[in-house]
Chains A and B, each alone.
Chain A
Amino acid sequence: QSVLTQPPSASGAPGQRVTISCSGSSSNIGSYTVDWYQQLPGTAPKLLIFANTQRPSGVPARFSGSRSGTSASLAISGLQSEDEADYYCASWQESRNGKYVFGSGTKVTVL
């Protein structure tokens, strides 16, 4: 069972906006920044959003992230067919030996 909770699936028609939630606690999202990863079918994960809201170069502006308290969200605006993938949130967690925790993942389907 993942420390960070995500909905298992989300969907939308091309051009629509889809939002994925990520719920954590004060020991992870409440204390550290949140990152988001996209994993296209059969490929390695790719960094999509880091430090809650920052997009690496090359990531389209239709992807955006936010954080509030112990939760975070990823929004995809203007959904495109190539956005069909698994999306994972992640954050560091306070512990005796720091650890990086991932959400359970959300499968986005473009209708």
Chain B
Amino acid sequence: RLFESGGGLVQPGGSLRLSCEGYGFTFRTSGMSWVRQIPGKGLEWVASISADSGGTYTADSVKGRFSISRDNSENTLYLQMNGLRADDTAMYYCAKLGGFAVLNLELDSWGQGTLVTVSS
């Protein structure tokens, strides 16, 4: 029900925009998040956004470089990634929150992920 795209190989300092399309649920009333995972390592929360884009939350590790946004008319979530570094290399998952807002809500549905590799 969640399909990510936009990953790939990018040079250090470059930019990428990830997209995540949602199907089979009411996208415009669901908060959304991005979570990443370095291959073989644990999960790291990246960013979250409320259903109406009124609240956005970003991890300190990517603040100022990554921004989360959404287009409810297109049922699509975005992650704009600028100033990419080697340690941003990871699988990036899109996930749906269990309600309209963000705080104290769980990630109740996940996409299959899109791989981002930052290397020269």
Measured CB to CB, the nearest residue on chain B to A35 is B106
Chain A residues with CB under 8 Å of B98's CB are: 50
Judging by beta carbons under 8 Å apart, are B108 and A99 in contact?
Answer: no
Judging by beta carbons under 8 Å apart, are A99 and B59 in contact?
Answer: yes
Tally of A interface residues using CB under 8 Å = 26
Instruction: Mark each residue of chain B from 83 to 120: 1 if its CB lies under 8 Å from any CB of chain A, else 0.
Output: 00000000001000010001110111111110000000
Judging by beta carbons under 8 Å apart, are A33 and B43 in contact?
Answer: no
Instruction: Mark each residue of chain B from 23 to 67: 1 if its CB lies under 8 Å from any CB of chain A, else 0.
Output: 000000000010100000011110010000000011110010000
Q: Which of B45, B106, B108, B109 has the most CB of A within 10 A?
A: B106
Judging by beta carbons under 8 Å apart, are B42 and A92 in contact?
Answer: no
Judging by beta carbons under 8 Å apart, are A44 and B93 in contact?
Answer: yes
A46 to B59, CA, bound (A): 21
**Residues in A93-111 with C-beta less than 8 Å from chain B:** 97-105
- CB<8 Å pairs between A and B, sample of 19: A39-B43, A44-B112, A44-B113, A45-B107, A46-B110, A47-B107, A47-B108, A51-B106, A88-B42, A90-B107, A92-B103, A92-B104, A99-B45, A100-B33, A100-B48, A102-B42, A102-B44, A104-B42, A105-B43
